[in-house]
Amino acid sequence: MLANIFSQDLPRSKVLTVILVVILAGLLATPFIFPGARSLNVGAKIAVFIVLAASYDLMLGYTGIVSFAHTMCFGIGAYGIGIASTQMGPTWTAMAVGVVAALLLSTVLALGISLFSLRVRAIFFAMITLAVAAAFMTMASQLSDWTGGEDGLNFKVPELISPAFSLSDEKFLGASLDGKLIAYYLVVVVSGGLFLLMLRIVNSPFGRVLMAIRDNDFRSEALGYRNVIYRSLSSVLAAVFATLAGILYALWLRYNGPGTTLSFDIMIDVLLIVVIGGMGTLYGAVVGSALFNIAQGYLQDLLKLAHGNIDTIPVIGALFHPDRWLFWLGLLFVLSIYFFPFGIVGKLRAGALARKPTAT
Amino acid sequence: MSTTTPIAPATVEDLPAAPRDWMPLLLIPILILLALPLVGSFPTWATLTIAGLAMGLIIFLVASGLTLVFGLMDVMNFGHGIFVALGAFVGVTTISALGGWTASSSFALNLAAIGCAGLAAAVVAGTVGVLFERIVVRPVYGLHLKQILVTMGGMIVAEQVILALWGPEARPMMRPASLQGSFIFADIAVEKFRLLAVCLGLTIFAAMSLLLNRTKLGLLIRAGVQDREMVEAMGYRVRFLFIGVFAAGSALAGLGGTMFGLYQEMVTTAIGAQMMVLIFIVIIIGGLGSVGGCFVGALLVGLASNYIGFVAPKVNLFSSILLMVLILLWRPQGLFPVAKR
Amino acid sequence: MSAAAAEPLLALEGVHTHIGPYHILHGVDLAVAKGRITMLLGRNGAGKTTTLRTVMGLWQASAGAIHFDGRNIAGLATPDVARLDIAYVPESMGIFSDLTVRENLFLAARKGPLDSARLDWIFGFMPALKTFWLQRAGLLSGGQKQMLSIARAMVEPRRLLLVDEPSKGLAPVIIQNLIVAFKALRAEGVTILLVEQNFNFASMVGDTVAVMDNGRVVHAGVMADLIADEALQARLLGLSLDSHQ
């Protein structure tokens, strides 16, 4: 039963299982054990970034193609909700229109880019997506009548999931039962469902073909699979999930702007999450997202501590400045590509295998 | 490295000239002429054309090394932009250190200041390029996916180091006194610095063409781009050639960074990522690995972005993408596809 | 003339080569006699090209020894192999098509400027190269490209030539020129290892012969013996010719 929900693709490492259970329990219990806006925000962001990073892993880890336009789809999802809400009012109909429009736009763009550039080679795809994403971002900040430009959009969401809505005046275990709480659980539960769906996809025959193409594209082509078609499908699927992640994020934040979903910095964050967590494992997205979003908050505090002690040393001291936290993650990123290409999850699984030499 | 050796066979018969592919070159004058009615005013059009050429040539400086590195070793360095940023910051520091020269009204001293800045930028970027090749790129030869990721990661780290060294604030980059402002010539305003950028860009393009067409080193590079294995099977160590090209490409990117900083009169760490997008568009348009294509592509992108920036500023970057799509529809491998094995 | 008696310039002993997950050479033993032309025959996929590429260091042997002039060169990088005066003409010809004929030959003359007397000697076999001296090599016909690729290997004196299927797709007239060129090289003292599928061509130029199948050498001997022994020919050429034509 449990194995079925996870599509027979279990964590395969005790430590990893424990970590995943802790992350899941943490996400579910956050409103009660860490009440407060900041921890709820971190929890929701972790959940959304799990979907975003896992969908990126569909392409990067499972299909072996690098796209830099993934946050473009993330942004399209978020803008879909934002624009629909500002133009049509915060109704469920508007949300539905926003969702459908965003999914359509993402699909069309992803399919277009893939068919246009995946025929040639993976590097070409990476370069073109980088260019398209940059152009899209400029466009989004230029079309300020719709998108709010650089300032972004503040918008309302349907009453049920807005903070003004209240289920009961009573507090339950210290948390107020309001629309914010409902929105939080909506984000966490839908994210979980999307994650399980992706797990199902990569363990389906379709997923196996993707991996075959990744490992040996000549061979799979010779076996009669049209690599371009499969790669394009993978990139479209990834785009769809990224758009859904963007939709969830917008519903949660009730705000969207270029820096929140579209920017290249977010793209880098996703890369860091997937690579450090573990490419081609999907679970890596969960571990990576939790680690990254917690690090984003707390690595800076740690650096602040270190910086206080050594800020007299030039350059080295500057690298310990809290604003330079990306330096350390970047270093970890490069080192993980060299030394543990399947990230934390790969490392944990290898460890589990080593302890159980009979296991195959 | 010896230059061309005079070798005349006993008699060389009159040969029909090899058909050269001129069509892509025509795109430049076509674009320039098409822009005239769009822009409307002749002096504005002329100003924009010069600005476009200046910008295009600066992009060429930066992109040429990257396209050669790709052609020679099949390495796409997604971190190339970091050399641009590094060059820009080294340029800023040098220029401000030479405050006396830049403030002077002597054109020679001003030029010397820019020369020193460009040289310092090239040397620093070239040196870092060699390190980058050794530490970041070499372990992942032949592995495209890892190459993209690792060079990107290298850029994240290097960018943070630049931030640590120079701080996060944008730096103004003053042009030297005699290069500020414009000439007015028959109603056409020509910024002096842009003229200098055009001259420098053309000089470097000419030097590079000479090197690639007239020297053994250059011929080896071109041969290596087409068939690396065969060059090695002839006894040449392509690895050294590659390190040289990588260093030279980084140095040119550094020089381009200084020039771009002066062009924008402002330097931020984002300059690298910002240029990276244009560079990719340019080398895709030109054909991966082709220096000539890179030249044409850079001019097209520089010109188009200045014209469109004037006519419809909102779709500026999109115009470069549109240009790329149109050119790829015409020639799917870029303007000058490099004949690979 | 006993070819087998000549001491080998190149000798492979138990060479294995893997390409990615595929095991291509399964212990190749091959001796190439000094100053002779050795033909390497065998059907497609027998491992002939892989053998040449392994000698050149373009693929590294996973086991075995490659002796050149008494020295084990297995594991050397390609440029270092080439610097032992070993020239390689790949099946793809490896022409630099953006470069002119002159520039192609200029690069092939690694040690110094082109020697015009030697060029004239080469033009004697390959007049087309003189005609198209300043043309881009990409514009040459297939046969002319093949000529150019062999001329590159001749432009400076070399000790060993590795040539992969020179006769492939060439007109009979051009093949005649090739035969003359190889014989002239042999007269100069160059050792040649030629991969071939065309037995007619092979029988006209070869002194010794080795036949490969499934990544091993299954027959080695004097060419004349093979030409004389029709039964052997039928057995071996059944192997080597079934995919030809």
* Under 8 Å between Cβ of C158 and C150: no
Distance CA B247, CA B130 (A): 5
Q: Is the model's pLDDT at B15 over the cut of 80?
A: no
Q: Confidence band (pLDDT; 50, 70, 90) for A117?
A: confident
Structure tokens at C197: 């599928």
Residue C37 covered by a domain: yes
Q: What is the pLDDT of residue A69?
A: 93
CATH code of the domain containing A133: 1.10.3470
Structure tokens at A67: 């796209």
Whether residue C237 is found in the same domain as residue C169: yes
CATH code of the domain containing B227: 1.10.3470
Angle (nearest 5°) at CA A35 between A34 and A39: 65
Closest chain B C-alpha to A88 CA, distance in angstroms: 25
Q: What is the pLDDT of residue B2?
A: 39
* Under 8 Å between Cβ of C160 and C32: yes
Q: Confidence band (pLDDT; 50, 70, 90) for B191?
A: confident
Residue B218 covered by a domain: yes
Q: Which of A143-157, A320-334, B262-276, B290-304 has the least mean pLDDT? A: A320-334
* Under 8 Å between Cβ of A330 and B149: no
Other beta carbons less than 10 A from residue B326's beta carbon: 10
Residues of B in contact with C136 (CB under 8 A): 18
Q: Which of A68-72, A247-251, A262-266 has the least mean pLDDT? A: A262-266
Q: Domain span at residue B179?
A: 42-330
Q: Is the model's pLDDT at B276 over the cut of 50?
A: yes
Q: What is the pLDDT of residue C2?
A: 45
Q: What is the pLDDT of residues A129-174, one digit of tens each?
A: 998 998 898 888 888 888 888 889 999 888 888 888 877 777 776 6
Task: List the chains bordering chain A where 3 or more Cβ pairs fall under 8 Å.
Answer: B
Quote the distance between the C-alpha of residue B256 and its chain's center.
7
Residue A182 covered by a domain: yes
Q: Is the model's pLDDT at B145 over the cut of 50?
A: yes
Q: What is the pLDDT of residue A194?
A: 97
Q: What is the pLDDT of residue C9?
A: 94
Closest chain C C-alpha to B71 CA, distance in angstroms: 13
Residue B204 covered by a domain: yes
* Overall average pLDDT of the B175-187 stretch: 83
Is some CB atom of chain A closer than 8 A to the CB atom of B122? no
Q: What is the pLDDT of residues B83-140, one digit of tens each?
A: 999 999 999 999 999 888 888 888 889 899 999 999 999 999 999 999 999 998 888 8
Instruction: Please state, in angstroms and as integers, the Cα–Cα distance from residue C136 to each residue in B2, B18, C97, C128, C148, following that order.
Output: 22, 7, 6, 13, 12
Residues of A in contact with B85 (CB under 8 A): none
Distance CA C119, CA C129 (A): 10
Other beta carbons less than 10 A from residue B316's beta carbon: 20
- The reply to whether residue A327 touches residue B332, judged by beta carbons under 8 angstroms, is no
Q: What is the pLDDT of residues B31-42, one digit of tens each?
A: 999 999 988 888
Cβ-Cβ contacts under 8 Å between B and C: the total is: 100
Low-confidence ranges of chain C (pLDDT < 70): 1-6, 239-245
C-beta pairs of A13-20 under 8 Å, 24+ apart in sequence? A13/A345, A13/A348, A13/A349, A13/A351, A13/A352, A14/A352, A15/A348, A15/A351, A15/A352, A16/A283, A16/A287, A16/A345, A16/A348, A16/A349, A16/A352, A19/A287, A19/A348, A20/A283, A20/A286, A20/A287
Residue C91 covered by a domain: no
Residue C90 covered by a domain: no
Q: Domain span at residue C42?
A: 3-85+158-241
Q: Confidence band (pLDDT; 50, 70, 90) for A359?
A: very low
Helix (H, G, I), strand (E, B) or coil at A85: helix
Whether residue C108 is found in the same domain as residue C207: no
Q: Confidence band (pLDDT; 50, 70, 90) for A120?
A: low
**Nearest CB to A134: which of B136, B314, B317?**
B317
Residue A360 covered by a domain: no
Residue B144 covered by a domain: yes
- The reply to whether residue B219 touches residue C103, judged by beta carbons under 8 angstroms, is yes
Q: Checking phi first, is residue A74 left (phi over 0); if not, alpha (psi -120 to 50) or beta?
A: alpha
Closest chain C C-alpha to B284 CA, distance in angstroms: 19
Whether residue C134 is found in the same domain as residue C71: no
Instruction: Please state, in angstroms and as integers, the Cα–Cα distance from residue A10 to each residue in A3, A53, A345, A349, following that order.
Output: 7, 19, 12, 11
Structure tokens at B313: 């500023």
Is some CB atom of chain A closer than 8 A to the CB atom of B43? no
Q: What is the pLDDT of residue B19?
A: 55
Residue of A70, A269, A327 to mutate, interface with B, max B Cβ within 10 Å: A327
Residues of C in contact with B230 (CB under 8 A): 90, 94, 96
Other beta carbons less than 10 A from residue C85's beta carbon: 18
Whether residue C148 is found in the same domain as residue C115: yes
**Nearest CB to B164: which of A122, A275, A324?**
A324
| Number of domains, chain A | 1
Residue pointed to by tokens 């200045």: B306
- The reply to whether residue B160 touches residue A324, judged by beta carbons under 8 angstroms, is yes
- Which secondary-structure segment (H or E) carries A108? helix A92-117
Of the candidates B329, B322, B274, the one whose C-alpha atom is nearest the C-alpha of residue B300 is B322
- The reply to whether residue B150 touches residue A338, judged by beta carbons under 8 angstroms, is yes
Final residue belonging to a domain, choices C116, C131, C156: C156
**Nearest CB to C79: which of B5, B226, B236?**
B236
Biggest distance spanned by C-alpha atoms of chain C = 51
Q: What is the pLDDT of residues B57-67, one digit of tens each?
A: 999 999 998 99
* Overall average pLDDT of the B224-253 stretch: 93
**Nearest CB to B234: which of C98, C108, C119?**
C108
Q: Confidence band (pLDDT; 50, 70, 90) for A244?
A: very high
Q: What type of residue sits at position C56? A: M
Task: List the chains bordering chain C where 3 or more Cβ pairs fall under 8 Å.
Answer: B
Other beta carbons less than 10 A from residue B4's beta carbon: 14
Give percent of chain A above pLDDT 70: 92
* Under 8 Å between Cβ of B164 and A324: yes
Q: What is the pLDDT of residue B73?
A: 81
Whether residue C53 is found in the same domain as residue C104: no
Is some CB atom of chain A closer than 8 A to the CB atom of B277? yes
Q: What is the pLDDT of residue B11?
A: 38
Is some CB atom of chain A closer than 8 A to the CB atom of B312? no
- Cα dihedral value C124, C129, C134, C140, nearest 10: 170
Distance CA B240, CA C81 (A): 16
Residues of A in contact with B281 (CB under 8 A): 131
| Number of domains, chain B | 1
The torsion angles phi and psi of B73, rounded to 5 degrees, stand at -125, 10
Q: Which of residues 109-138 of C touch B (CB under 8 A)?
A: 110, 113-114, 116, 119-120, 123, 130-136, 138
Q: What is the pLDDT of residue A57?
A: 95
Of the candidates C200, C201, C157, the one whose C-alpha atom is nearest the C-alpha of residue C177 is C201
* Overall average pLDDT of the B155-176 stretch: 90
Q: What is the pLDDT of residues A52-84, one digit of tens each?
A: 999 999 999 999 889 999 999 999 999 999 999
- The reply to whether residue C90 touches residue B222, judged by beta carbons under 8 angstroms, is no
Of the candidates B109, C199, B144, B200, the one whose C-alpha atom is nearest the C-alpha of residue A66 is B144
Give percent of chain B above pLDDT 90: 54
Q: Which of residues 21-80 of C touch B (CB under 8 A)?
A: 56, 58, 77-79
Q: Is the model's pLDDT at B340 over the cut of 80?
A: no
Angle (nearest 5°) at CA C236 between C233 and C240: 115
Whether residue C68 is found in the same domain as residue C179: yes
- Highest-confidence segment of A279-288, A302-311, B266-275: A279-288
Q: Is the model's pLDDT at B200 over the cut of 70?
A: yes
Whether residue C178 is found in the same domain as residue C234: yes
Final residue belonging to a domain, choices C106, C132, C156: C156
Q: Confidence band (pLDDT; 50, 70, 90) for A223?
A: low
ipTM of the complex: 0.91
Q: What is the pLDDT of residue C21?
A: 81
Q: Confidence band (pLDDT; 50, 70, 90) for A224?
A: low
- The reply to whether residue A66 touches residue B148, judged by beta carbons under 8 angstroms, is yes
